[in-house]
Amino acid sequence: MKYEDLKILDQLREKGSITEEEYQREKAKILNETTSLGSKPLFGLEENTYLMLMHVSQLLGLLIPLAGFANSVSRVCGARTHVDNQ
């Protein structure tokens, strides 16, 4: 995380392992980093919206074939009932 990186960077500066200039440069890099997808639009969508659509599409990928299977089973059972009644 950013805070851990900043803490390590500060420790290096205090020990004299890096100069003040290096510290400031690296600190600016750490603070300007984007660690979340939320700051980068995915297909013009916010991260939460994108993830919700991905989950819905996965759910539909499961439900649509099941609905087709259930429909075919009901047709077969309905045909058997119709034959049995004649």
Does residue 45 share a domain with residue 29? no
Residue 31 token pair? 């603070």
- What is the predicted pLDDT for the residue at 37? 45
Per-residue pLDDT of the chain (86 residues; tens, 9 = 90+): 788 999 999 999 999 999 999 999 999 988 887 555 445 567 788 888 889 999 999 999 988 888 888 888 888 887 665 555 55
Please give the residue range of the domain that contains residue 9.
1-33
6 φ, ψ (degrees, to nearest 5):
-65, -40
**How is the chain split among helix, strand and coil, in percent rounded to 5?**
80, 0, 15
pTM of the full predicted structure?
0.39
DSSP 45: B
Does residue 4 share a domain with residue 28? yes
Domain count, the chain: 2
Does residue 47 share a domain with residue 24? no
- Are 9 and 27 contacting, i.e. CB atoms less than 8 angstroms apart? yes
- Residue bearing tokens 């429909």: 71
- What is the predicted pLDDT for the residue at 52? 93
